[in-house]
Structure 1
């Protein structure tokens, strides 16, 4: 009789231990989500133009090992990582050339897009070379495009992403303000030109955030992380006019690691 009771107690103890171990294992599994498949789309603000250390195989796309998608992938070890972003890309380029890696298994997509559609390079060239009046006029032209035409272009891209990767979490990242107003720059663009350029950045972010939200995507705002690190701040995470010229007005490596990566980490 005593042996029977002992055996029953031992069996119960072993069962409790097994349950506890199983529960711990389940909790540990829940705390460690499975690796996801990550696809990085977009323009030069995603490819890393300006950050240096470019992948020689990426050619004019200038995909940098220091760009925020590479940094996120290195930190999180996704099950697969496809870096499709390309310097100079417009919405039409994303649709035509960058969506091939998306599928029903894609878990995360990041993208910056729209600046080139609105004439980013031409606007900054005009502002740099042609003076305040021409700058303000060109910025207003860009803002008119952002308000009236860009929303439809973004809808096409976001619809395509959702259609090809319906289960993916999509993080749409914005653009920083370029200038600290009243900052340390003694030469260069006028304060009126800098104010106009910052206003255009705010407008494209507002439009992009609305279109992203309407598609169920997350908009990741980088203006806060770049605050205090704009041009004329004394601690800029953006290039001013530099060589090569294509790196001008793009985030530095620090801009990617401290400006862009933290907002993607929070959003994803």
Structure 2
């Protein structure tokens, strides 16, 4: 018995509807857009890492923010970190890159505020006692003033980027402790500088946690590759991470701190 023409059409429509849609015709899966802003000082901008996209701020294509962006292809990337920056500089010249749409922020700051450059000059070219005095002065600032300044900055970052995941990046130990360091600092100076780095990192990590931000510790990331080791990832000339230091230490430390990594 033959079916009426209208019934045949209905059966054909049902049959076509049951055919799987080719993969090429299926809508693409939704991908979370990442809008990444990198803030901070020379340890974030990549001073000493070469291949600069901005010489004035020593923004390096080899710095961990640029490397992360290259590897992850975010929807947008604003590289605002600048060599020599202090907290007031971040507030006046960098946080403007943040917005409601920002989803990821990295921030390295506090070293210059605590007198990093002058302290290193004292330790490199003056006596042990001069080095220790400079570190004591820096330590007093780190304990008494830096926490409040970080709190203010972190509050501003959160207010400007309310949806963002924020990762605060710490500083590495600069020198190998113990043993000889031919042409370098004495063991006592190296230990004193690393102690100062510990105090700075502990303060930054504490305020980051209080703000609800993640903290990526640079010390384990660079362990075994400090100045005076056989495979240093920190330059003894400018006391900053090399391109290798950014690629092999800072980049994985940052990446592992980002949710979902």
TM-score by length of 2: 0.89
Q: Is the 8 A contact 2:180 2:187 kept in 1?
A: no
Pairwise CA distance, 1:149:
0.7
Q: Quick one: which of 76, 82, 88 aligns to 2:84?
A: 88
Matches of 2:55 and 2:207 in 1, distance apart? 30
Paired residue for 2:219? 223
**CA distance, structure 2, for counterparts of residue 184 and residue 76 of structure 1:** 41
Alignment counterpart, residue 48 of structure 1, candidates 46, 49, 68 = 46
User: Which residue, out of 228, 232, 240, partners 2:228?
Assistant: 232
- Name the CA distance, whole Å, in 2 between partners of 1:252 and 1:202: 21
User: Paired residue for 1:199, among 195, 212, 220?
Assistant: 195
Tell me the SS of whatever aligns to 1:82. Answer: strand
Q: Which structure shows the bigger proportion of residues in helix conformation?
A: 1
* Aligned residue pairs, count: 255
Q: Give a deviation string over 1:194-221, Cα, whole Å, max 9, x none.
A: 1110011111111111111111111011
**Partner Cα distance (1:16, 1:147) in 2:** 69
User: Post-superposition shift, 1:186?
Assistant: 2.8
In structure 2, the residue matched to 1:252 is: 242
Q: Does 1:68 align with 2:74?
A: no
SS in 2 for 1:72: helix
Q: Cα deviations across residues 210-261 of structure 1 (Å, max 9, x unaligned)? A: 1111111110112112000001111100011x2xxxxx11000001001100
Q: Do the aligned partners of 1:183 and 1:232 also contact (CA within 8 Å) in 2?
A: no
For residues 13 and 266 of structure 1, what CA distance do their matches in structure 2 show? 48
Q: Which structure 2 segments of 5+ residues have no match?
A: none
Instruction: Give per-residue Cα distances to partners, 1:143-177, cap 9 Å, x unaligned.
Output: 11111110011111101100100001111000000
- Aligned position for 2:208: 212
Give the structure 1 partner of residue 106 of structure 2.
110
Give how far 1:16 is off. 9.1
Residue among 166, 183, 186 paired with 1:170:
166
Output one character per residue of 1:49-93: Cα deviation in whole Å (capped at 9) or x when no partner.
Answer: 0101112x441x111111111101111111111111011100010
Say if 2:184 and 2:228, in contact at 8 Å, map to a contact too. Answer: no
Match of 2:34 among 30, 33, 36: 36
Aligned partners of 2:179 and 2:187 also within 8 Å: no
Whether the 8 Å CA contact 1:183–1:233 is kept in 2: the answer is no
Name the CA distance, whole Å, in 2 between partners of 1:183 and 1:52.
Answer: 30
User: Which one has the largest radius of gyration?
Assistant: 2
Q: Secondary structure at the match of 2:204?
A: helix
Unaligned 5+ runs, structure 1: 243-247
Tell me the equivalent position of 2:144.
148
The DSSP-based 3-state class of the residue aligned with 2:120 is helix
Quote the residue 1:139 is aligned against: 135
The runs of 4+ residues in structure 1 deviating greater than 4 Å are: 10-18
How far has the Cα of 1:96 moved from its partner? 0.7
